[in-house]
Amino acid sequence: MVFELPYRRLLILTEGRLGVFSSKTGAAVLRYRPTDCVAVLDSQHAGEPLRSILDGAPDVPIVANVADAMGLKPDAIVIGIAPVGGALPDAMRRHLVDGLGSGLSVISGLHVSLSRDPQLAELAERHGARIHDVRDPGPIQHIARGRARQMRVRRVLTVGTDCAVGKMVAALELRKEACRQGLDAAFVATGQTGILIEGWGIAVDHVISDFAPGAAELLVQHVADRQVCFVEGQGSIGHPAYSCVTLALVHGVCADAMVMCHRPGRAFHSDWHDCPIAAIERQIALYEEIAEPVHPCKVVAVAVNTVGMSPEEADRAVREAADRTGLPAADPIRQGCGDLLAAVRGRIGV
């Protein structure tokens, strides 16, 4: 059972937290679904130009409350934050109450289940709205059979040297470039922000471990008739807490090519200050070795995340990644995905 979200007129709720990092989830939805977003809901920034806060965002208004947005005919409120711990801030609750009361559905990537919140559930029921907890994968009990190998769709998986290095962004940008080049290309979301952006997917890290590779297989099955799909990776193969989710994707997706995502300058895994990050070339070897027993697969390119660097620093970081790995390297946002996709296409033959 793959999650699907049939909404096309989104109201992005960031109440009090609008910003590139403080409302990362909302910023990602605004970047990747610009034409599906009708407004941002944040009383502390109401009336300001959105682009003055989020560079490159669509030209939609920031409103102070749900009533001010109703003229734009939203169909759902997207919770635009994903805080550690994942509770619903009180300041956001009143907007959800107003929105559900106006018949808007709610889409949440929070850890807490809003669909089981008595007040919100009752309001949704009364007004014919729905509440979607995209982190809840539902009762997935599919055991992987290694079937993705036999599907027509070519499968490209983004993998990483750590968490939060840009695996989702790389997959989205590769898909965009592939479509631009005329390929029938899909993006496969495996985490809550990707699901919010794409409107379907499974949060694989919330699936029971016996069924996590099966969830990956179901996701590929969902795009089995497409030409190529770019699957958002999770975690990192050497990460003490998340490597099992990483491997569930490597073996469940049966990737035909992997793109390594890397953020230079980190010595330790984020939040695991005593766990060093292995060198990128060592990690590439490890991903290829671990893929091999199920479906042999190579890392064919490196997506370098240079956010916050000067142009010179970024150039140097990209060159260094290419030198160390012997692979084409680029920052998908600064430099585009042309070279990365060329390497992928050369490998998978589309």
Are β-strands 3-4 and 200-201 bridged in parallel, bridged antiparallel, or unpaired? antiparallel
Output the smallest distance, CB 86 to its own copies, in A.
11
Selection from 255, 177, 260 nearest residue 219 by Cα? 255
Report which DSSP code applies to 337. Answer: S
Which residues form the interface with its own copies (CB under 8 A)? Answer: 143-146, 204-210, 212-214, 237-245, 247-248, 251-252, 272, 274-275, 278, 283, 286, 289-290, 292-294
Q: Which residues contact 71 (CB under 8 A, 6 or more apart)?
A: none
Residue 60 identity (one-letter amino acid): V
How far CA 5 is from CA of 2, 13, 77, 130, 186, in Å, comes to 10, 17, 12, 10, 16
Nearer to its own copies, 274 or 312 (CB): 274
Output the smallest distance, CB 276 to its own copies, in A.
8
The b/e string for 324-336 (b: 16+ C-beta within 10 A; e otherwise) is ebebbbbbbbebe
Output the smallest distance, CB 118 to its own copies, in A.
19
Output the smallest distance, CB 122 to its own copies, in A.
24
CB of 249 within 8 A of CB of 297?
no
Nearer to its own copies, 155 or 206 (CB): 206
Nearer to its own copies, 248 or 327 (CB): 248
Output the smallest distance, CB 146 to its own copies, in A.
4
- In order, the DSSP letters of 285-302 are HHHHHHHTTTS--EEEEE
Which token pair is 153?
């769709």
- In order, the DSSP letters of 27-77 are HHHHHHSGGGEEEEE-TTTTTS-GGGTSTT--S--EESSHHHHGGG---EE
Output the smallest distance, CB 234 to its own copies, in A.
9
Nearer to its own copies, 40 or 260 (CB): 260
Nearer to its own copies, 38 or 297 (CB): 297
Distance from chain centroid for Cα 146: 24
Nearer to its own copies, 39 or 212 (CB): 212
Nearer to its own copies, 67 or 208 (CB): 208
Nearer to its own copies, 277 or 333 (CB): 277
Distance CA 350, CA 344 (A): 9
Distance CA 97, CA 86 (A): 19
The helix (run of H) or strand (run of E) holding residue 257 is strand 257-262
Within 117-205, where are the H helices?
A: 118-127, 167-180, 192-198
Output the smallest distance, CB 125 to its own copies, in A.
25
- In order, the DSSP letters of 300-317 are EEEEE--TT--HHHHHHH
Output the smallest distance, CB 50 to its own copies, in A.
33
Output the smallest distance, CB 162 to its own copies, in A.
11
Nearer to its own copies, 283 or 306 (CB): 283
